[in-house]
Structure 1
Amino acid sequence: MVTGAVTGTAQAIPVGPVDLGTLPGDDESTVLAVNEAGEMVGLSLVGPTPKRSHPVRWDADGRIMALPTPGGTEGQVRDINSHGVSAGYVLTATTAVPVRWDAAGQATSLQLPPGYHNATAWAISDTGVVIGNWLTPDNQFHGFRWDPDGAATDLGTLPGETWSMTEGISGDGTIIAGSAVRSAANQAVRWVNGGPITELAPQGVSSGAGRINKDGVAAGVLRETSSGPPVPAKWDRDGVTHPMDWPSPHSVWIYGIGPTGYVVGSGYLNPPRRSALIWDLDGHVAALPDDGLGADAEAVNAQGTVAGTFRSQATVWFRNGERRQLGTLPGGTRGQGYRITDNGRVVGVASNAAGKSHAVYWTLG
């Protein structure tokens, strides 16, 4: 199969990694989301597994700020939108409560309907719509939508079923992608303009579309028959399926979709090794150069630049076929890249001299 890719220009030498540190008393950290302004949110962590997690925000220059946890001492912030507003949840003594933090870091607990509980927020649109998952009064797991006016909506399940989950939302807040159960199998679903749940691959045996970009285009994998091969696919804003190349009967996973429609993932394109993969805008697949050693591709930006990991180092692959490792912290030996912005900020983690994982970023220039 083809490795590498197409055209591009020479790339500037990356700068970094910049160590984003931890809150006082904590020993590890991780970034979970970054916006185009370079503002990042994630976790400052302490203790043995399971670690205690504290929601934090870093400004574009890497200065850390603890986010308030009303009603509790732990929590997670999972996403940040283009206006610097973020969403996540706080862990109280008895339950999880969804929270929105404004651009100044002030917290608002999201109100739930009576009887709903243990709610976790996972994503926020640029219009301020928060999505997540909660337990219903009869303890069924459902996706929810919380609007800026305070209205909370149970997004329901497929007919006759009891389970659903939200996973991502478009920038304008109109399209939510997620999963639901049908016939004891996972199915890719979406909700549009607050409407009812619909399947993205209603004729398939199983499917998943856990990645969605700001334009509302989702990506994932479906199986058309129980014994058939996996089919990677994109679903456009109208919900139309666009299969992507996969000339292999073996497993494939989708990890990211960029703003313009590039898709990245991993799969057994050339067994027995697993390859990092990119699908171009026409759906053609290529294995990213890995010297036969394997690699992971986790995110891609509008230009098709991929962030991932190669030989335990954070790495980027450019559209001209160039692969570049991004470097480690002083005394550290490991790194991982898993988010990338259109203006060339790669975020991830790297180990320090003490062997602890810290959130970091690199600038591609």
Structure 2
Amino acid sequence: MSVAAALGTQALIGVSPAHAAETSRAPIDLGVLPGGTFSDAYTINDRGVVMGVAIPADGAEQAASWDRKHRITGLGTLPGMDRSDPKGINDRGTVVGDAFPDPGYFRQAVKWDSRGRIAKLAAVTGFDYSRSVAVNDGDTVIGEAYDFSADYRAVRWNRDGTATLLPLPPGVYFGSQARAINNAGEIVGDVGNVPLRWDRDGHVMQLDTLGGGWSSPQAINDSGIAVGYGQDSAGRSRALKWDRQGHVTDLGTLGGAHSQAVAINAKGEVLGTSSTSDGTTVTVRWDSSGRITGLPEIDYPQAINDRGDVLGRTALWSPGGRITRLAPLADGEFADANGMNDDAVVGLSSRTTENGSVYHAVLWPLRKP
């Protein structure tokens, strides 16, 4: 096992300097489907297309998208299914997700092209059901196949529509999950608490651990650097970073025992959480050199963009320490952010009507640097 030195010294720990919080510009109401009263925006791609969900007049929640002019399209579901749930969007505008009946255990992985046309992803031999996780800019989709026996396997759906079961390491026979894919087609996931990476040809590599009972990578950038979390030999949950060779680094904490990493941007800046010496858990950001900064004003880490902005549920932290509170709609009481690109944040805001509160997808434009 090759384990890089942990970055846990006080010299590498910081707290974002306090700044007076600003309030964002008023969000743009992205609206709802005809006859509907609810929508929620999950994320936005680099071309400004938004992905989320909406409830039409018949009351069955479905995937939805909004184009750059903020026009909504209901993406629907497969024949015989009741609902759909989106999981990811790429810069081509391809959306992936699941179609399912009520109740939703029996899922079928699907994708919608940039024109909103739905297609069932190929069945996987030996498995009854499937669910998608993410899609890269080459239209390669990852997810899982599963069946009544509770067996599940990581799957890659190629751009030509064919499905490939991702191989397992020697001595393992079931239970793999794919977590993330980059634009080079590299996939990270885990099996039986063992962290894995698959290259674009499907060859599997077992990643190093800290000697604890489990590890799980959660994200990978286009440089092939993966982040996640795992247990060390003392039983503590630690934020981890893996290089291209599979060597692991403990990213350290803000003085507490535990930390987790959940996202990484193109520059190698990492988003996660850490406990402090008094047991409090706060959002943190590690820069590309491994310096950790606490962001106590960010209530829950949602995303980090390539500019280094960090998004929480109700606020945005920008490099330099500026905090921007996300305003609700003018007639609303609260706002809840979900995702962002370099130019905008998307999420949900309440609206007050004569019949009570309703909830609409919204977009907050970001200030240019």
TM above 0.5, yes or no, is yes
Matched, 1:296 2:306: no
Of 160, 175, 182 in structure 2, the residue corresponding to residue 170 of structure 1 is 182
Distance in 1 (CA, whole Å) between partners of 2:182 and 2:205 is: 16
Amino acid at match of 1:80: I
Aligned-partner SS, 2:211: coil
Call closer, same or farther: CA 1:122–1:207 in 2, change over 3 Å.
Answer: same
Matched, 1:130 2:141: yes
Matched, 1:347 2:346: yes
Distance in 2 (CA, whole Å) between partners of 1:242 and 1:92 is: 43
1:105-134 residue CA offsets vs partner (Å, 9 max, x unmatched): 112211213442221112111111111111
Q: In the alignment, which residue of structure 1 is the partner of 2:74?
A: 66
- Larger deviation: 190-199 or 143-152? 190-199
Distance in 2 (CA, whole Å) between partners of 1:138 and 1:156 is: 19
Distance in 1 (CA, whole Å) between partners of 2:277 and 2:307 is: 26
Aligned-partner SS, 1:105: coil
Kept after mapping to 2: 8 A contact 1:110/1:150: yes
Q: In the alignment, which residue of structure 1 is the partner of 2:329?
A: 329
Amino acid at match of 1:348: G
Distance in 1 (CA, whole Å) between partners of 2:280 and 2:124 is: 49
Once the two structures are TM-superposed, the CA of residue 210 in structure 1 deviates from its matched residue by 1.2
Distance in 2 (CA, whole Å) between partners of 1:230 and 1:74 is: 36
Distance in 1 (CA, whole Å) between partners of 2:280 and 2:22 is: 31
1:22-81 residue CA offsets vs partner (Å, 9 max, x unmatched): 22343332223321111011211479xxx8420111112221101132222311121111
Q: How does 1:1-365 map to 2 (within 5 A)?
A: 2-4=14-16, 14-45=24-55, 52-71=60-79, 72-92=81-101, 95-135=106-146, 139-158=150-169, 159-173=171-185, 175-181=186-192, 186-202=193-209, 204-205=211-212, 206-225=214-233, 227-290=234-297, 295-309=299-313, 314-342=314-342, 344-353=343-352, 354-365=356-367
- Larger deviation: 31-40 or 266-275? 266-275
1:155-204 residue CA offsets vs partner (Å, 9 max, x unmatched): 2444334211111110132x1112221xxxx2322211233433323563
Amino acid at match of 1:102: D
Aligned-partner SS, 2:276: strand
Distance in 1 (CA, whole Å) between partners of 2:362 and 2:178 is: 28
Aligned-partner SS, 1:251: strand
Unaligned runs of 5+ in 2: 1-12
Distance in 2 (CA, whole Å) between partners of 1:276 and 1:202 is: 23
- Larger deviation: 230-239 or 314-323? 230-239
What is the TM-score of this pair, normalised by structure 1? 0.85
Once the two structures are TM-superposed, the CA of residue 229 in structure 1 deviates from its matched residue by 3.4
Once the two structures are TM-superposed, the CA of residue 138 in structure 1 deviates from its matched residue by 5.3
Percent identity at matched positions? 26
Kept after mapping to 2: 8 A contact 1:346/1:363: yes
Once the two structures are TM-superposed, the CA of residue 282 in structure 1 deviates from its matched residue by 0.9
Aligned-partner SS, 2:138: coil
Call closer, same or farther: CA 1:333–1:13 in 2, change over 3 Å.
Answer: closer
Call closer, same or farther: CA 1:148–1:14 in 2, change over 3 Å.
Answer: same
Once the two structures are TM-superposed, the CA of residue 247 in structure 1 deviates from its matched residue by 4.7
Kept after mapping to 2: 8 A contact 1:165/1:180: yes
RMSD over aligned Cα atoms:
2.7
Q: In the alignment, which residue of structure 1 is the partner of 2:3?
A: none
Kept after mapping to 2: 8 A contact 1:265/1:296: no
Once the two structures are TM-superposed, the CA of residue 248 in structure 1 deviates from its matched residue by 3.1
Distance in 1 (CA, whole Å) between partners of 2:149 and 2:205 is: 23
Amino acid at match of 2:61: S
Distance in 2 (CA, whole Å) between partners of 1:229 and 1:139 is: 29
Q: Which has the higher contact order (CA 8 A, sep 6+)?
A: 2
Distance in 2 (CA, whole Å) between partners of 1:31 and 1:270 is: 36
Distance in 1 (CA, whole Å) between partners of 2:150 and 2:282 is: 40
Kept after mapping to 2: 8 A contact 1:219/1:233: yes
Kept after mapping to 2: 8 A contact 1:43/1:55: yes
Amino acid at match of 2:301: A
Once the two structures are TM-superposed, the CA of residue 300 in structure 1 deviates from its matched residue by 1.0
Amino acid at match of 1:317: W
Call closer, same or farther: CA 1:80–1:266 in 2, change over 3 Å.
Answer: same
Unaligned runs of 5+ in 1: none
The structure 1 segments of at least 4 consecutive aligned residues displaced by more than 3 Å after TM superposition are 11-16, 92-95, 136-139, 354-357
Kept after mapping to 1: 8 A contact 2:29/2:360: yes
Number of residue equivalences: 344
Kept after mapping to 2: 8 A contact 1:306/1:340: no
Distance in 2 (CA, whole Å) between partners of 1:179 and 1:45 is: 34
- Larger deviation: 51-60 or 12-21? 12-21
